[in-house]
Amino acid sequence: KDLQQRYRQRYPASAALYDEAVAQTPGGVHGNLRHYPPFPLSFKRAEGARMIDVDGYTYTDYFLSYGSLILGHGHPSVREAVEKVWQIQGTSSFGTPHPMESEMVKVLREFYPSFESVRLTNSGLEATLLAVRLALAYTGRTHLAKFQGHYHGSHDQVLLNIHIDPRSREPIPVADSFGLPDYVKEHTVVLPFGDWESCEPLLERHKNHMGAVILEPMMGGYVPAPTGLVQNLRRWTQENNIPLIFDEVKTGFRVSLGGAQEYYGVKPDLTTLGKVVGGGFPIGVVGGKQEILSLCSPLRSQQPLFHSGTYNGNPMSLAAGLATMRQLSQPGYFDTIVENTRKLREGIEQLSEHYRAGWTTLGVGTIFNLVESGEPPLSKASGDGRLRRLQLDYLLMERGVFSKPMNRFSLSGVHEAQDIENTLKAFEQAFAALAY
């Protein structure tokens, strides 16, 4: 209640927009993740690493539109590419094949050697939906294995997690969303994102009807898999001829340019990408084995697996995405983002230690998050930890550090030394204010 009052006073324009939105849209947002209490802020302008909200407050942006803007807001090369395409072709979209499609596929194949073939979609959700459908069709089996807490978008088959049955101690899949059909629960095996020994028995038990295994090779984009898990999954799925899908929508072009598959040195059968690939415009990618992807070819002699989309491969996303990848290919560009991420993390950790705040950081490459120090990264923050994190996140926001609604940090090529210094100042003030 206090927060509501305080924020209505501090952010009157955002509050008014929220009140208007909530009267005509569920929760006032067009995606459940966008809501945070007491109400989400609205923004009107951005440039580089900075965003300005509708009340005129300026922030250093670490949210970067769910991590997608790895060149920051309005990068000149992205702007130019999009404006040029619009100017030359006189339209935003043809809905027909386009010369930039093959160019995009070629570039993606250079970064991701596991891509023998590629299909483009409009979002990460559509990419994981297509990848799972392809894998199940390829094997002719019914069950999907997914990992506890891993996010693959909001389609039926990936919105399940585990609850432990208090009597049998068996993990039972429970829907994360209201309104899922029962067959989804019956056809999904939810695995713990723990060591291989805790996954193997579940996989073995269901292997005869298992058609695909999907995972975020780093949960939430920043929690690396427990040692050996990814390698063992690769071996086991290969032995059992079950396609392994890496959902790299978050980790692609962020953990390293070649994604988590490059980091682990493991080649999945199918990979999904999104976010960074579209340079701030909608996109999704399914790449991988020709043998599996060809199931959706209209040239197939038997009925193909149907896949379509009005805006698939739309020229605006391709122009922005290709400009982004050209920039990322510049020698040293990505390494500098990694180095700045490291400096920010190191600074936060030192401040946390100094103020005995109890936080450390976790992540690889250009993304990280704060986790409670001394706790295994997979353990859920306790009630106390969650409250402390909430307080910290609001103090940071009030001091011009924006990471809502995920409170995870993604960096870009335009976060400079001064931004990092300002952010560390905000952390220092927040840690001091909380007086741990």
Q: Considering the complex, state which of residue 133 and residue 250 has its C-beta at the smaller distance from ligand PLP.
A: 250
**Tokens 């069950």 map to which residue?**
143
Using a 10 angstrom Cβ sphere, with 0-12 exposed, 13-18 middle and 19 or more buried, the burial of residue 16 is: middle
Is residue 295 within 8 Å of 134, Cβ to Cβ? yes
Q: List the catalytic residues.
A: 151, 247, 275
User: Minimum CB separation from ligand PLP for residue 350, in Å?
Assistant: 29
| Helix (H) / strand (E) containing 203 | helix 196-206
Distance CA 136, CA 209 (A): 10
Distance CA 363, CA 351 (A): 18
Q: Considering the complex, state which of residue 156 and residue 247 has its C-beta at the smaller distance from ligand PLP.
A: 247
Distance CA 363, CA 369 (A): 7
User: Minimum CB separation from ligand PLP for residue 343, in Å?
Assistant: 25
Q: Considering the complex, state which of residue 130 and residue 357 has its C-beta at the smaller distance from ligand PLP.
A: 130
Q: Considering the complex, state which of residue 125 and residue 233 has its C-beta at the smaller distance from ligand PLP.
A: 125
User: Minimum CB separation from ligand PLP for residue 275, in Å?
Assistant: 6
Distance CA 270, CA 115 (A): 8
**Tokens 């392809």 map to which residue?**
134
Q: Considering the complex, state which of residue 66 and residue 281 has its C-beta at the smaller distance from ligand PLP.
A: 66
User: Minimum CB separation from ligand PLP for residue 428, in Å?
Assistant: 30
User: Minimum CB separation from ligand PLP for residue 63, in Å?
Assistant: 12
* Residue 407 per-residue DSSP state: T
Using a 10 angstrom Cβ sphere, with 0-12 exposed, 13-18 middle and 19 or more buried, the burial of residue 375 is: middle
Phi/psi for 46 (5° steps) reads -150, 155
Structure tokens at 346: 């190191």
User: Minimum CB separation from ligand PLP for residue 138, in Å?
Assistant: 20
User: Minimum CB separation from ligand PLP for residue 8, in Å?
Assistant: 29
Q: Considering the complex, state which of residue 66 and residue 196 has its C-beta at the smaller distance from ligand PLP.
A: 66
Residue nearest to ligand PLP (CB): 124
Q: Is the dihedral of CA 195, 200, 206, 212 positive or negative?
A: positive
Q: Considering the complex, state which of residue 11 and residue 264 has its C-beta at the smaller distance from ligand PLP.
A: 264
Chain residues that interact with ligand PLP, rule: CB under 6 A: 66, 123-125, 128, 151-153, 216, 247, 249-250, 274
Is residue 188 within 8 Å of 171, Cβ to Cβ? no
Distance CA 383, CA 364 (A): 27
Nearby residues of 298 by Cβ (< 8 Å), 6 or more positions away = 304
Distance CA 58, CA 393 (A): 16
